[in-house]
Amino acid sequence: MPEVTERARDLVGRLLHGHGVVARITEVEAYGGIEDPASHAFVRTPRSEIMYGPPWRLYVYRIHGHHAANVVTGPTEQAAAVLIRAGEILEGIEVARERRGPVADHALARGPGNLTKALGITSLDLGTDLLDPEPVFLGERVDRPTLVAGPRVGVRRNADVPWRFWAEDDPTVSAYRRHPRA
């Protein structure tokens, strides 16, 4: 297993701060950069350039009108990253509710697009150093849940690689959907 899967597993149970809201990360996916056809960094382009740089920086991309947040994990030139797919809101829940509109609390940050919306993360946060106390940064570990692994959601290539990791029986984890053409 590549190092990025270890980084991914380590992120579950840690805090992610986003513009006044704090979430406990409950679901992530590992992307293996230059070795992983499912990764945006499989091809080096202006968009994926950030992932070739130093670790612990934020990679934000837009998809279907939503934002998705990733932690660049390194090593440099490997272009590995971890997609943050879901979390449980622990602080700033009123702000999160306002950003998300009428949904159940356990669904406020369920799914990558919903999580960035609840945490106010946009392309403006691209490149943020996640170890500094900026508007977006990684906090401490608050628990060590039992982890479950499975295939990544919605990817067409490498669709069977089990690099999605989530906290067992956690209601904030998103549903699995296989790519229609995988």
Partner DNA sequence: CACTGGATTAGCT
Partner DNA sequence: GCTAATCCAGTGC
Bridge partner list, 72: 81
Cβ contact 83:26 at 8 Å: no
Cβ contact 130:32 at 8 Å: no
Closer CB to DNA, residue 6 or residue 146?
6
**Using CB under 7 A, which of the segments 8-16, 46-54, 128-136, 164-172 binds DNA?**
46-54
For DNA, the binding residue among 38, 96, 130, 136 (CB under 7 A) is 38
70 interacts with DNA by CB under 7 A: yes
Which of these, 29, 37, 30, 43, lies nearest to 2 by C-alpha position? 30
For DNA, the binding residue among 83, 96, 136, 138 (CB under 7 A) is 83
- Burial state string for 65-92 with b = 16 or more CB within 10 A and e = fewer than 16: eebbbbbbbbeeebbbbbbbbbbbbeeb
179 interacts with DNA by CB under 7 A: yes
Which of these, 27, 31, 35, 33, lies nearest to 149 by C-alpha position? 27
Closer CB to DNA, residue 12 or residue 115?
115
What is the smallest separation between the CB atom of 37 and DNA, expressed in angstroms?
A: 10
Cβ contact 27:12 at 8 Å: yes
For DNA, the binding residue among 1, 6, 20, 62 (CB under 7 A) is 62
How many residues belong to the site for DNA (CB under 7 A)? 37
156 interacts with DNA by CB under 7 A: yes
**Token pair recorded at residue 43:** 């091809």
Residue with tokens 């030139």: 77
Binding site for DNA (CB under 7 A): 29, 31, 38-41, 43, 45-48, 59, 61-66, 68, 70, 81, 83, 103, 111-115, 152-156, 174, 177, 179, 181
